Structure 1
Amino acid sequence: MQSHLCKLLNIQYPIFQGAMAWVADADLASAVSNAGGLGIVGTGHDTPEIVAEKIADIKAKTTKPFGVNIMLLNPHVQEVVDVVCQSGVKVVTTGAGSPGKYMDKFKAAGIIVIPVVASVALARRMENDGADAIIVEGMEAGGHIGKSTTMALLPQVVDAVSVPVIAAGGIGDGRGMAAAYMLGASGIQVGTRFVVAKESNAHANFKQAILKAKDIDTVITGQLTGHPVRVLRNKLTREYLQAEKEETSKESPDFERLENMARGALRRAVVEGDKIRGSMMAGQIAGLISKEQTCHDIIQDYMRECSETIQKQIEYWSK
């Protein structure tokens, strides 16, 4: 199943690991890259010094291709871009905006740029700005999300751009991967399933919450503030949703109240293992995940199940 995307990135399998804050460190990303996928180091709001340390860390753990995710709302984004361009990184994914103003610098450094988008209009803009590929993320995903579903948005973006498109959000196994291929994707990005990988440093409590999750165990918070986030249900989400309801009824909502409730919640979940007041970001496919595996086994499962699913459909329709 070698694709143009695999040749572009020099990877064995068309599977990206999502740049999940506090989760996508060098240990996880290098394990994914060593298993043949594209591991991605998340940088969030890191300072340029921390980003340089993270890049050095993953370089010490893999000789395979890897990517670095740059959050464009990072107050240090200009300095982070400079560090990445000077470090020899070959692939950059971006979130929270357009990397257009940095595209010339990326290209001069020989970097492949792959933005994450949640709409057709933004996908077109990214291609016009010089993106080499596009990650389409639907609202089934964990963490910050848009308004469209992956399966509805994906074929529309595929029709709108000429660069490879990577599907993200709601792809929990090889069957979902096969569906993404049928809709025109060149690859997939996986988040939640890699959170519970054996090489993931996410707290055991967070992993267990995902492994025990059912199909209806995620909710969306932050819709009032305009920054919706999909997370697993817990005491924090119940209190937050109640607060959102109360603030919605006011003429002047107290956004600071909501921000204070969410501040530091992701770290509490991922690092401290707080299942009560932590923000356990996870996708709707959490109910599909029932075991902790190595990154190698996860990728192999995706590829095997995808191939088997496609083959079964070919046999069915050829009867």
Structure 2
Amino acid sequence: MNITKLLGIKYPIFQGGMAQIALAPLAGAVSNAGGLGIIGSGGLTADRLREEIRKTKEITNKPFAVNLMLMMKNIPELIEVVIEEGVKIVTTGAGTPAPYMPIFKEHGITVIPVVPSVKIAKKMEALGVDAIVSEGTEAGGHVGETTTMALLPQVTSAVSIPVIGAGGIADGRGIAAAFALGAQGVQVGTRFLATVECPTHENFKLAVINADDTSTTVTGRSLGGPVRSIKNSMIAEFQELERQNASRDELEKISLGSLRKAVFEGDTDRGSVMAGQICGLVREITTVEEMITSMFAEAQEVLNNLGKITVMEEEKELVLV
């Protein structure tokens, strides 16, 4: 089934379930604009998740989802809240949804895992999930190893369920590229950071806007949990400690709470400003609605122009006509 019909949304765009950031103001605005708003439950208590769900319902009467980081210890309590509050779509990451599939299906919940590889994509399809998000290493936050350009066509060739492309998408050209690689939609995180409705400190938004294509780096590979963020003094210190084979305790000493420090306090030097490599394309703060409509208008224009490409047999080259 087409992803927009499956979820009851106008535009095939998911807003990334960014921990501490993807809360009611952003999720509600995205759903109102025709996309799929997603509440990021990472770091939330069950009571706080319930509060964010109810706030989102006050903002929108359109479909929205909750992202579940399955490595969190309170996942059973969070799932209970999702069920009790009648949320019908979940995206998942950082673990397998296998133990929870029976209860999800019992309550008619659409399950969409975020995957970093073809192998995991196949496993998720075998579990009976409804769709998957194929996310390349260009994305911000927790990442895999394979680029979107390489991963997405391999995943779409390997599974028969709808695939959403993610990682390195911030304009209509990225959306068109994802469709060309076989995706039915896109998931976007970094571009949503620079929206009016995104509930982050202004310094965080400015850090994204002022970044370029080389501003991000990955930390945490030594811990088995690589994370992409914008470079700053804390990140440099973390990487130096990694080079010295520092212990997990030493690394966590400087990184614990760093995301909250950046998101809420605006400390973009010692906090963790998680963002993707595409942030060099993010140059202004707009409303969510302006962002989504302009991206899809551009995507349509790009796709229309691609329809004019033809092969000139004699010269054996592609031209626009």
Same topology, TM > 0.5 = yes
The residue identity in structure 2 corresponding to 1:194 is F
Contact 2:19 2:43 in 1 (8 A): no
Q: Which 5+ residue runs of structure 1 have no aligned equivalent?
A: 248-252
> Do structure 1's residue 312 and structure 2's residue 310 form an aligned pair?
no
Distance in 2 between the 1:192 and 1:7 partners?
A: 26
Q: How far 1:20 sits from its partner (Å)? A: 0.5
1:209 Cα deviation after fit: 0.6
Q: How does 1:22-171 map to 2 (within 5 A)?
A: 22-171=20-169
Task: Please say if 1:194 is aligned against 2:187.
Answer: no
3-state DSSP of counterpart to 2:223: coil
Distance in structure 1 (CA, Å) of the matches to 2:87 and 2:154:
31
SS of equivalent residue, structure 2 residue 244: helix
RMSD across aligned positions (CA): 1.1
Q: Which runs of 5+ in 2 are unaligned?
A: 311-319
Deviations 1:192-220 (A, max 9, x none): 11011101111100100110111111111
Moved more, 116-125 or 45-54: 45-54
Q: Deviations over 1:219-252 (max 9, x none)?
A: 11111111111100111111111111111xxxxx
2:257 matches 1:257: no
TM-score, structure 1 normalization? 0.96
Asked if 1:270 is matched to 2:263, the reply is: yes
Rounded Cα–Cα distance in structure 2 between residues aligned with 1:82 and 1:25:
19
Q: In 2, distance between residues paired with 1:316 and 1:149?
A: 26
Letter in 2 for 1:119: S
So what's the TM-score if we normalise by structure 2?
0.95
2:272 to 245, 257, 279: 279
Q: Which moved more, 1:142-151 or 1:80-89?
A: 80-89
Structure 1 partner of 2:316? none
Using the TM superposition, give the Cα deviation of residue 310 of structure 1 relative to its aligned residue in structure 2, in angstroms.
1.1
* Whole-angstrom CA distance in 2 between matches of 1:156 and 1:171: 18
Q: Where do 4+ consecutive residues of structure 1 move more than 6 Å?
A: none
Match of 1:289 in 2: 282
Q: What's the offset of the Cα at 1:60?
A: 1.1
Q: Match of 1:250?
A: none
Which amino acid in 1 is paired with 2:236?
A: R
In the other structure, the counterpart of 2:174 is 176
Superposition deviation, residue 44 in structure 1:
0.8
In 2, Cα distance between equivalents of 1:40 and 1:296: 15
Q: CA deviation at 1:45?
A: 3.2
1:183 maps to amino acid:
L
Instruction: Percent identity, please.
Output: 51
Question: Equivalents in 1 of 2:163, 2:206: separation in Å?
Answer: 32
Distance in 1 between the 2:127 and 2:296 partners?
32
Total equivalences in the alignment: 312
